[in-house]
Chain A
């Protein structure tokens, strides 16, 4: 077995410790920037839906500011975002490089995308449900948690899966500022030193992550759709 593996992917077998380290770095970046983006994106998405044109706390000013800021950030390519955030990252995390330094740009790259997706998911809620809840004496906070969020769990899971997958893609790019991870690993060896087997293995690793996220998502969606 081992000799066979050595034969088909000699470079990978040479660097298994580094492969595991890169995998862990990718998971680390995805996990922390994912959790933080999830919370912030969800909050912004909720504010968008609440202050929006059909919202329960309509506010044209807040809505249009958020709306424009999101559009602005979504139109900046991630590589440029990475570079332009270096001073801010240094200020916040103390270091602009390494796995830790990659988290802030990843959040900036993910939150606007996710907030917009959350807004779309929540907007699917039939307005009649909101009205019924208000007619039953539900408070605005209650409407958000008991109607908007509770009733759109399957859609929220779906957009969270999509965002997580695109986040894994972004972590590969974050390797460019020394963030490490699988993307960085593949570029350093697979690309720059022409060790094709490394490229294939990293692709397979990332594919596995995507598949796991997708299937967990599908299970939750299935369980929460009635």
Chain B
């Protein structure tokens, strides 16, 4: 569907050249929700803007549906852009136009009759659930409603691709959820390919099928959602994954010497990571039964990624030392990552 080949993009600034994309190769499959995550300045926006050539790559080629759009004429490119919707962090609605006129904008001057436009706008409003706001002006809408209008406008010409640059970053968590849900529905209903930029792993976790992680203009890690969460390779990826769970709080608690983590001899604090698709098995109760251990779970974070549970937990286990080590060996055999945070002796 979308293929980026050896994309370089640099900007000449006063303080020298900034490399915003460095030899990026990407293949985005049709009908998928593709997440691009990275910290501020990583080059996410630049890369996505290369897909509709809002930004022209310094080097490299962009293919959409097999057509190399980097070599199209201006007119051909404009026609192609009509088939690539885009939504933005700050919505970019036209303040002088009401909801109807905003959504009708991309339909105008295309030889469509008034009634055709009317019908399409109403369909789109239905799709995004805003039929009652048809005559409202953007200044009269909430952030979430504005983004819905922007989505409707982006879909006006039945695009096959929707680019979303931090579309939920200006919204509160609840509204973010509802917009993500809408995007997911559109993806399922219309089969539209979505390329979504974010700096929040929570967003990726919510809806993406595939993820790439960017840093300093480069794609440093790429994979399907489950693998990224289960086995992040790069430090940054791990940081992003951890940001969605509360498990790393254990380190702060230990640092602060909080009562709950004060261990006696014979007590271990262990952290389990469920790396394979096995989180549904009742491993904790199994080890406490079979190795005569007491397990006190202090943090647990098991979530569904797609249909697979993933995550981990932090527990204080107590019992005979050799039994604890045997249990750890058992867990490792099961493909669970085990980290002994505190082995009692130190306490």
Contact = CB atoms under 8 A, between A and B. Distances in A.
**Is A bound to B?**
yes
A128 B92 contact: yes
A182 to B, nearest CB: 37
A151 B139 CA distance: 14
A136 B92 CA distance: 12
B150 to A, nearest CB: 8
Interface string A121-156: 000001011011111111100100011001101000
Given A134-B54, A146-B105, A226 B98 contact: yes
Interface residues of A, number: 20
B96 A135 contact: no
A142 B106 CA distance: 11
B105 A136 contact: yes
B86 A135 contact: yes
Interface residues of B, number: 27
B347 interface: no
B39 interface: no
Contacts of A147: 94
Contacts of B84: 135
Contacts of A226: 95-96, 98, 137-139
A132 B95 contact: no
A71 interface: no
Contact of A129 (B54, B86, B94, B109): B94
Given A136-B154, A142-B109, 14 more contacts: A131-B54, A132-B92, A133-B105, A135-B81, A136-B86, A136-B153, A136-B157, A137-B78, A138-B78, A151-B94, A151-B96, A224-B96, A226-B95, A226-B139
8 contacts: A135-B86, A136-B106, A136-B157, A137-B79, A137-B157, A138-B78, A151-B94, A151-B96
Contacts of B157: 136-137
Of all A-B residue pairs in the complex, the 6 with the closest CB atoms, nearest first, are A226-B137, A132-B92, A137-B81, A137-B82, A128-B92, A135-B86
A129 B106 contact: no
Interface in A177-226: 224, 226
Interface of B: 52, 54, 78-82, 84, 86, 88, 90, 92, 94-98, 105-106, 109, 137-139, 153-154, 157, 163
A137 B76 CA distance: 10
Nearest to A147: B94
Interface string A21-39: 0000000000000000000
Contact of A135 (B54, B90, B137, B138): B54
Nearest to B78: A137
B105 to A, nearest CB: 7
Most buried by B among A131, A135, A142: A135
Nearest to A136: B106
Contact of B81 (A129, A136, A151): A136
A151 B95 contact: yes
Nearest to A226: B137
B90 A139 contact: no
A136 B83 CA distance: 8
Contact of B82 (A126, A131, A136): A136
A153 B97 CA distance: 12
Contacts of A134: 54, 81
Contacts of B153: 136
B46 to A, nearest CB: 13
Contacts of A128: 88, 90, 92
Contacts of B90: 126, 128
A4 B153 CA distance: 67
A137 B81 CA distance: 5
Interface in A68-105: none
A150 B52 contact: no
A134 B53 CA distance: 10
Interface in A14-64: none
A137 B108 CA distance: 11
A137 B78 CA distance: 4
A132 B86 contact: yes
A146 B105 CA distance: 9
A141 to B, nearest CB: 11
B73 to A, nearest CB: 12
Contacts of B105: 133, 136, 146
A224 B95 CA distance: 10
